[in-house]
């Protein structure tokens, strides 16, 4: 889509309050508990609840890649563009296998995404996504904190933890918990979610996983797809950023439709995160976010 840039303003990446967070000050060192399966944190009694040190001993950039292939002109131009933009720090939230998380992580390694995943947040510590993160050396945080549980962070402490990693953007990839208002406000226009339908259809509380695809087929809809949207205080109601359409076939099962949608999710999420990290998200005056084309800065979608 081609449009004039008049009336457009850049997104929050250059002025977000989380770009240069203050380093937490610790009153006393925290205590770490580790095992073959997990590393988690318990604060000492004199340790401020506002100063959470993440369960990680490795804060280095893990996603360094050296390219050896010959570059064409377009590759060089792309590298020049990326060299002018700071690599973004990403946090990913998952509740299950984390296939979208994995595709984004691979994209950070191969250079498709100009950013690094610094931490994974999950409400299910032993889910597939969390296991994959630990194998790859990515710190894992349990959230939200369950009642009477030693493990897990409160919303307040999670925000401090994310800021200690200087997280720029939060990516929800199959996270089944409602994001607290405090976190939404702490990261304005900086939290994305992917949903397996064409929102606003088949979205909201209770619409997740296979339930979405069964509802689509039962409705008789001829098309479904994937939607990436900004996160607000409610389920699936934030501003839509990108969509990918998938046909619903006459003899589709929920499983077949889910597989076809998920295939498109993986590609779409990587494309959107790439644009996010390259600061190509533009906000129209009426509050609609658009993605600026990499090839032509006057084209948007």
- Which residues are catalytically annotated? 195
Residues constituting the chain: 301
User: Phi and psi at residue 200, in whole multiples of 5°?
Assistant: -85, 5
Q: How many CB atoms within 10 Å of residue 9?
A: 10
First to last CA, the chain: 6
DSSP designation for 13 = G
Residue 95 CB contacts under 8 Å (≥ 6 apart), including other chains? 122, 123, 124, 127, 129, 174, 175, 176, 177
Q: How many Å apart are CA 230 and CA 217, to the nearest integer? A: 26
Strand bridging mode 8-10 / 281-284: antiparallel
- Per the structure block, which two tokens stand in for 95? 């509740």
The candidate with the shortest Cα–Cα distance to 65, out of 6, 111, 119, is 111
3-class DSSP state for residue 299?
strand
3-class DSSP state for residue 275?
helix
């Amino acid at each position: 889509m081609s449009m004039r840039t008049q009336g457009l303003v850049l997104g929050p990446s250059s002025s977000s309050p989380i770009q240069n967070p203050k380093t937490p000050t610790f009153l006393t060192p925290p205590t770490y508990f580790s095992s073959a399966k997990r590393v988690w944190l318990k604060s000492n009694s004199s340790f401020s609840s506002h100063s959470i040190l993440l369960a990680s001993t490795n804060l280095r950039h893990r996603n360094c890649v050296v390219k050896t292939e010959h570059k064409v002109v377009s590759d060089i131009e792309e590298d020049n563009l990326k060299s002018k933009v700071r690599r973004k720090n990403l946090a990913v939230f998952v509740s299950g296998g984390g296939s979208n998380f994995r595709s984004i992580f691979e994209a950070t390694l191969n250079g498709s995404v100009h950013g690094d995943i610094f931490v994974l947040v999950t409400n299910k510590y032993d889910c597939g996504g969390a296991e994959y993160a630990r194998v790859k050396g990515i710190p894992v945080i349990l959230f939200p904190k369950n009642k009477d549980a030693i493990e897990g962070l409160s919303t307040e402490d999670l925000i401090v933890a994310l800021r200690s990693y200087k997280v720029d953007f939060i990516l929800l990839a199959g996270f089944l918990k409602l994001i607290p208002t405090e976190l939404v406000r702490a990261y304005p226009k900086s939290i994305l979610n992917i949903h397996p339908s064409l929102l606003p259809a088949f979205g909201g509380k209770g619409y997740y996983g296979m339930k979405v695809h069964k509802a689509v087929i039962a409705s008789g809809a001829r098309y479904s797809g994937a939607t990436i949207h900004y996160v607000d205080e409610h389920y699936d109601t934030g501003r839509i950023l990108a969509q990918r359409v998938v046909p619903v076939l006459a003899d589709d099962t929920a499983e077949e439709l889910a597989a076809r949608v998920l295939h498109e999710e993986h590609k779409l999420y990587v494309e959107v995160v790439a644009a996010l990290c390259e600061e190509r998200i533009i906000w129209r005056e009426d509050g609609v976010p658009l993605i600026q084309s990499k090839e032509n800065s006057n084209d948007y979608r």
